[in-house]
Structure 1
Amino acid sequence: MSGRSRRMTLPSLAGRIDPIFKPATKPTSDPAHSAAFIFLHGLGDDAEGLENIADQFQKNDKVSWMSWVIPNAVEDRDAMTTAWYSPSLLTPFAPSRPELEEEEDEKGLVKSAAYVESLIDACVKKGIPPNRIVLGGFSQGCALSLFTDLTSKKYSGRLAGIVGLCGYLPLAGGARLQHLRAVADLPPTHGDVAIFLARGKGDSLIPKRIWNMTLKGLEAFDATSIEEHEYDGGHTISGPMLRGKVES
């Protein structure tokens, strides 16, 4: 019964499958003492692809006061699959000239970030403070989480933390992120929001060059509260990655 009382009203949009919502297994009496994790899937996946991870946490009584919000991306006509934005080619080697670097889908990122903001709004409306809301994701979901955290006029620098698995920072190579922050009246530096980043050592979809650009890009915003790890494996979520286990 208490689980039903903790359900929140999440945005329902035409053309987008509604998010999966998993209420806290042991909800607190005061929503301000609860928490929420908004978990974004990767390219070509959907919310059901990540639901098992939430189930594992809840089954093992981990962070039982936390609710899970797992949204769905829409179908991307160019990519012909579900995507938060149109993907660009992430190559292991930099092109001979910077202008040859494939252009990223800034418009798609901005649109999806606005949707993520609406999910955060729903959590806040339910009484969960922004500093008890974690935003994270896998692959494109990681990229969108970092982008939202850096550019959201409402929530940049206010969330509990960012979890990025096997992903990267979009628009890391230029000045567009700083421009978007300036347009949103955000300061040039990021703040103290904790960021956990992890990748597989053999991840060919997010090459080491892109990983290094991500770290350098975040450093440019003075994002000092970064914990980053590389694990055995490829472009997949592993047990040690979920546990945050440090591997040598």
Structure 2
Amino acid sequence: MSSCGLGHSLNELDVADQFQSNGKLPYMNWIIPNAMEDRDAMQTAWYTPTGFSLFASSRPELEEEEDEAGMRKTVAYIESLIDACVNKGIPPNRIVLGGFSQGCAMSLLTDLTSKKYAGRLAGIAGIMGYLPLASGHKLQDIRAHHDLPPTHGEVSVFLARGKKDQLIPKRIWNQTLKKLEDLGLNSSSMDVHEYEGLGHSLSGPLLRDLCGWMEKVIPKLED
């Protein structure tokens, strides 16, 4: 299951077609929802985006607040998609949730805060994105509200960033990795990649790494 958003069309990001046209992961079913179109804002997004500066603000209290309400709404929608898979007989530990850009953000947030599925999926694939609500103790507070343990379980996570990605600055990437570590994810459960010369887009090496990771976390079942 993958998702993308904020202006990225499925024609540009159809990872499933690229894998299957090359005979990769033929046993997988793919669900690829696209973000809703906001006609007022004239954009397609899972939530109202927040721009990132290259450097941390000296007045963090003045920074634009993240769209937590929109994110919670999206998590609930993603939960409904997972529900549909489970109702068809697919166990959560055979489901990978992933996405590009905002899709990455929502995949990570769902895995960390979903009352139904936090820590229960086969893996999370995050490409060219970040972990939202990472400042302070917001994520810990949401987990506590949902009666989730303070630290996360051992769900396998694949993260990829282009070193020339101007939309996700290095400091936001580092903040994401640090917060995931604080929440209990360690190097043994995270497969982290940065790609030289790559901006906010896909590449052959990235797709090869992603495919190899997916083959490990959801191998073909024996007949």
Task: Judge same fold: TM > 0.5, yes or no.
Answer: yes
Q: Give 1:116's aligned residue.
A: 78
Q: Give 2:191's aligned residue.
A: 227
Structure 1 ranges of 4+ moved more than 3 A: 46-49
Q: Which runs of 5+ in 1 are unaligned?
A: 1-37
- Contact kept in structure 2, 1:190 and 1:222, CA below 8 Å: yes
Larger radius of gyration: 1
1:16-95 correspondence to structure 2 within 5 Å: 38-51=1-14, 53-77=15-39, 79-95=41-57
Query: Aligned partner of 2:202: which letter?
Result: I
Separation in 1, partners of 2:37, 2:88: 29
Q: Give 2:146's aligned residue.
A: 184
| 1:101-142 deviation line (CA, Å, top 9, x unaligned) | 221000000000100111111111111110000000001000
Deviation for aligned residue 1:78: 5.6
Deviation for aligned residue 1:73: 1.1
Report how many aligned residue pairs link the two structures. 208
TM-score (norm. length: structure 2):
0.89
Q: Give 2:201's aligned residue.
A: 236
| 1:33-91 deviation line (CA, Å, top 9, x unaligned) | xxxxx11113113444433x211111111111100000021123564211000000111
Q: Which runs of 5+ in 2 are unaligned?
A: 213-223
* One of 145, 155, 163 as aligned partner of 1:201: 163
- Contact kept in structure 1, 2:5 and 2:101, CA below 8 Å: yes
Structure having the higher strand fraction is: 1
Q: Give 2:122's aligned residue.
A: 160
Separation in 1, partners of 2:204, 2:5: 18
Higher relative contact order (CA 8 A, sep 6+): 2
Separation in 1, partners of 2:176, 2:5: 17
- Taking every aligned residue pair, what percent have the same amino acid on both sides? 66
Deviation for aligned residue 1:156: 0.3
Question: After the TM superposition, which of the residue ranges 77-86 and 166-175 deviates more from structure 2?
Answer: 77-86
Question: After the TM superposition, which of the residue ranges 89-98 and 127-136 deviates more from structure 2?
Answer: 89-98
- Contact kept in structure 2, 1:166 and 1:206, CA below 8 Å: yes
- Contact kept in structure 2, 1:147 and 1:170, CA below 8 Å: yes
Q: Give 1:171's aligned residue.
A: 133
Measured on the aligned residues, the alpha-carbon RMSD in Å equals: 1.5
**Secondary structure in structure 2 of the residue aligned to 1:229:** strand
